[in-house]
A and B are shown apart, each in its own frame.
Chain A
Amino acid sequence: MTRSMVLLMVAVFLAPAGAELGAQPTPFADALAQQREILIDPEYSCVVCHTEKRRAFLLGTHSERGIRCHDCHGGDPTAFERGPAHSGADYIGTPDKFQTVELCASCHEDPDRMRQYGLHVGQLAEFRTSRHGHLLLEQGDTNAPTCSDCHNSHTILPPNDARSNVYPTNIVMTCARCHEDQALMSRYGLPTDQVREHRASAHGEALFERQNFAAPTCVDCHGSHAALPPQVMQIADVCGQCHVLVRRAFYEGPHGKTALAGTLLGCTSCHSNHGTERVRPEQIGATCTVCHDADSPQAMLGEEIEEGVTRAARELESARAAIDQLARAGHRTGDILFRHETAYTTYRQLAQVQHNLDLVLLEDLTRQVTSISTDIRAADEVAAEHRWEHKLILIPVWFLALSAIVLAWFKLNSLKKGAG
């Protein structure tokens, strides 16, 4: 092989690498380059002393967007002496709570800067309407939180990042940092058991135990930047954001009208607020008697609804047991499970009856559940009958076996006698 051929082959192999070197850098490569610059830039003085802050900042999303220390803190990052570095008209050092709000708003209120990230603007306006914003910005109460109290100061992460303070499973504890502080809350006359109640509630259980991120956290009912407790007449609408059908049924019924008039606390009257207590089927009647007399027609109506719902629940339970038995016996239960799902969907619609108090609908839904449950149980009974019939095979088996044994035994004895 000649030398020119070797050179040619080397050139051919290196060509793609050359093309790669000449390619346009991607946005991700940009971000990496930016981080690298912050890490190793010999001309940037902040990171020489504030190494811990630099490390925290690099974990956050702002470091990927080209934002650097002096953008928020001011000063001269080209100076390597403490005095000159911490000087200049724009130097603010550690911003206080008021400055923090202004600093964040300087970018986050700018639609042109936020558009590219799909972030909406208006958090500051929202914050001003909130109790937190009112305390901080109008009353100058520095106990009230500012942006960095919830979002962190340097490691600022988007809400869908599991490390973020405002991630669904973390936000509750973020709020609890202040709202579980009895000394702090006593100044505002607020209770401190909201988090404990929320954790034990249906919502808390769904969120923390089943990792169901559709379950509401503090901000889903109170708002995030515009955090406030819902007003009496708003409660059903707040809950109705998720419980759409129940909300509609509630407003159809007599309680909805009372709630609209402002004399009933809406959903929280029966379910409490942070605890979101379930009213179990067997508790329906008792719940009505909290407000109504035990011998009143309303209480009787509650009893009637309780009877219908518990009957449907029992039907579902017995159908489930029948399906389990069929599965244990090796039957394929796909179709039956589908029917059970249908019955369960119907059963769930009974929640509407509990809110609009429509007895005709109650009867109709209960009948549908019972009908499907009866079908499922019938299938199990047929299968059980077949299983019982399987045992009948033992009659011919033992008849033949005993006959054969008796005959063989006689023959064996006669042979022994013959031999004797």
Chain B
Amino acid sequence: MNDSEKQPRIRWLAQLWADLKASTDPGVLAVARFLGLLYGPIDRKLPIDQAFRKMLRYRLPSYVSWRHAFGGITYLLFVVLVVTGVLLSFYYRPSPQEAYPSIQYIVSEVPLGWLVRDLHVWSANFIVIALLAHMARVFFAAAYKPPRESNWLVGILLLLVVLCFGGTGYLLPWDQWSYWTVTEVLDTISKAPLLGLFADVLRGDVIVSGATLGRFFALHVIVLPWAAFALLIFHFMLVRKHRIAPPPGARLAEDAGIPFFPNHLLRTFIVGVVVLAVTFSAAALFPRPVGDPADPFELPTEIVSSWVVVDVSLGLIRYLGVWGFSLFTLLGFTLILLPLVDRKPEQRLRRRPLAVAIGLLFFGGYLILWLVGHQVTSVQSGAELRSGEAAEQVVPQPAPGERASPQFSSDASAATREEEQN
């Protein structure tokens, strides 16, 4: 073997030795490097270590406090939803025949399936609360004003995505409660100005059916995750670009700030742990019950809601009707347009009476509607719940004081028997 052949091999060995030595270097990414996750050439060619160190050296303004935690909580809950959602999708079957049995299987047969499902359900509730709290903080702190108006718009779009996530996910258990709630909400949307066509396309049939379930599932697990992912990245980039909005009177030039690591990360860690523990507790203590399987021909005796937004929707529909629903949606749209109108740098609440009034109306209204809507357990009659076309095709109108015709009831014999037993 001549020298020219020996040379590359020695160089290769020398490099390997250098990589091995680097892997035991007590650097920021030592563990990843030791485990081989950052292999020598990758580590050498990409400045990951530098980027990581730069991130840790990042300093946040000193006015960043606990009240800024809601955005982080929302993101954490989003991650929980993604993880639990992926786990649920291993077992869930999106068809009218299999959806309900697959939920039963997840809850009663899959190890810790009950926990995964209830974490998903409760995270879906908490994320709405955290997101609205985050939004309210931004709104009342006037953080939506230039130059951050585009990020406000992205935030509103993220709210819309989260609402769509919940709305599409709500039907997936395919039980009586979810089926008839979605029927009622879609029916209301179809009556609302401009939104009607949107509801018909979503329903995909004259009644909520397998076509609707397929559409909702596709939106829930394919379309919306990509939309959320893109919007989140954009949202974070804009936060980094414009930094967190300062409160009135903040002296930015004199502010040395607080280090991201470890101070802010520790605070985030504490908040994250509390949020996770609370979500686990809610999941373990208050599991969502499983209703009867969805039956398009029989109304349930009661509606049990398991999502904040459903409570709000039922509150709007039952107490304010289609126009109340439409006007509240319109109020949400005015929030989107607000930064285009309200461009003065004024942050103090007393100098922004109109904006504060709109904000109070929206956030206060949301809170009141939630509380009111949570009390709704009654079911609208079958005729009211169906579009005209479907009513003509499927459901005969029972005479007042008479029961619905049992030929449309799947459990007429059971009802008979119960009465006979009595």
Q: Which residues of A contact B (CB under 8 A)?
A: 206, 209-211, 278, 280, 313, 316-317, 320, 327-332, 344, 347, 387, 390-391, 393-394, 397-398, 401, 404-405, 408-409, 411-412, 415-416
Contacts and interface: CB of A to CB of B under 8 A. Distances in A.
B77 to A, nearest CB: 16
A69 B146 CA distance: 91
B262 to A, nearest CB: 7
A387 B115 CA distance: 11
A211 B416 CA distance: 12
Given A329-B107, A329-B289, A331-B104, A408 B266 contact: yes
Given A317-B421, A332-B108, A401-B276, A408 B281 contact: no
Q: Is the interface of B mostly helix, strand, loop or mixed?
A: helix
Given A316-B421, A332-B108, 9 more contacts: A209-B402, A211-B405, A211-B407, A317-B421, A328-B289, A393-B280, A401-B273, A412-B266, A415-B262
B169 to A, nearest CB: 17
Given A390-B114, A404-B269, A411-B266, A331 B108 contact: yes
B285 interface: yes
Contacts of A390: 114-115, 284, 287
Given A328-B290, A390-B114, A397-B277, A210 B416 contact: yes
A409 B270 contact: yes
Contacts, number: 87
A409 B277 CA distance: 16
B1 to A, nearest CB: 57
B416 A405 contact: no
A408 B274 contact: no
A405 B275 CA distance: 11
B277 A398 contact: yes
A344 B414 CA distance: 11
Contact of A344 (B284, B291, B412, B417): B417
Contacts of B267: 412
B262 A209 contact: no
B270 A332 contact: no
Nearest to B265: A408
A106 B291 CA distance: 62
B403 A209 contact: yes
B365 interface: no
A247 B417 CA distance: 21
User: For B114, B267, B273, B407, which residue has the most chain A Cβ atoms within 10 angstroms?
Assistant: B273
Given A210-B412, A393-B115, A415-B262, A330 B290 contact: yes
Interface in B268-307: 269-270, 273-274, 276-277, 280-281, 284-285, 287, 289-292
Interface in B238-282: 262-263, 266-267, 269-270, 273-274, 276-277, 280-281
A187 B101 CA distance: 65
B422 interface: yes
Given A206-B416, A412-B266, A415-B263, A391 B285 contact: yes
Contacts of A408: 266, 269-270, 273
B289 A405 contact: no
A412 B269 CA distance: 11
B406 interface: yes
B421 A209 contact: no
Contacts of B287: 329, 387, 390
Interface in B368-422: 402-403, 405-407, 412, 416-418, 420-422
B103 interface: yes
Nearest to B418: A320
B390 to A, nearest CB: 22
A394 B284 contact: yes
B140 to A, nearest CB: 27
A320 B402 CA distance: 26
Contacts of B115: 390, 393
